[in-house]
């Protein structure tokens, strides 16, 4: 005998002869990600940091998510999403290691990069990167 609860917490009531089909999607494995950049902050206008995301499962074993996204946020809040396998600038470098070449930095302030493993291995991390003011304008 099993007790089934609906999403809102209500019990599911079945009468004799009722049938129910239970479906499940792909099983997600939750883990964690280490995110770093080279060069490290503080950065300068004109830099293109290379961000490295290292994904691990709960047993601390390097593992690949099947879908990975990087989001780059500028100091004014503009966000650009980059998807592995779709957009340029993301490569892999061994099991669980994803490399993201950020866009050229053209403004000072706090830039943020977020990485997320969305399928298979589910994990996310963020990194804030400070960019110094410059006496020289950004190249265009």
Give residues with Cβ within 8 angstroms of 56, minimum separation 6: 31, 32, 33, 34, 62, 63, 96, 123
pTM, two decimal places: 0.77
* pLDDT for the residue numbered 16: 59
For the segment 55-82, the average pLDDT, to the nearest whole number, is 96
The secondary structure of residue 135, as a DSSP letter, is S
Q: Which of 34-48, 71-85, 93-107 has the least mean pLDDT?
A: 34-48
Mean pLDDT of the chain: 85
| pLDDT tens-digit series, residues 3-59 | 555 555 556 555 555 555 444 445 568 889 999 999 877 899 999 999 999 999 999
Helix, strand, or coil here: 37?
A: strand
Q: Which domains, from first to last, does the chain contain?
A: 29-131 (2.60.40.10)
């Amino acid at each position: 005998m099993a007790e089934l609860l609906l999403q809102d917490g209500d019990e599911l009531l079945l009468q004799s002869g009722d049938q129910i089909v239970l479906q499940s999607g792909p099983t997600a494995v939750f883990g964690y990600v280490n995110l770093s950049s080279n060069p490290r902050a503080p950065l300068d206008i004109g830099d293109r940091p290379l961000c490295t995301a290292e994904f691990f499962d709960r047993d601390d074993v390097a593992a690949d998510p099947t879908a990975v996204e990087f989001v780059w946020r500028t100091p004014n809040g503009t966000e650009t999403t980059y998807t592995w396998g779709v957009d340029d600038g993301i490569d892999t470098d061994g099991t669980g290691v994803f490399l993201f070449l950020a866009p050229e930095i053209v403004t000072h302030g706090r830039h943020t990069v977020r990485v997320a493993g969305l399928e298979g291995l589910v994990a996310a991390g963020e990194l804030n990167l400070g960019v110094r003011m410059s006496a020289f304008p950004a190249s265009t």
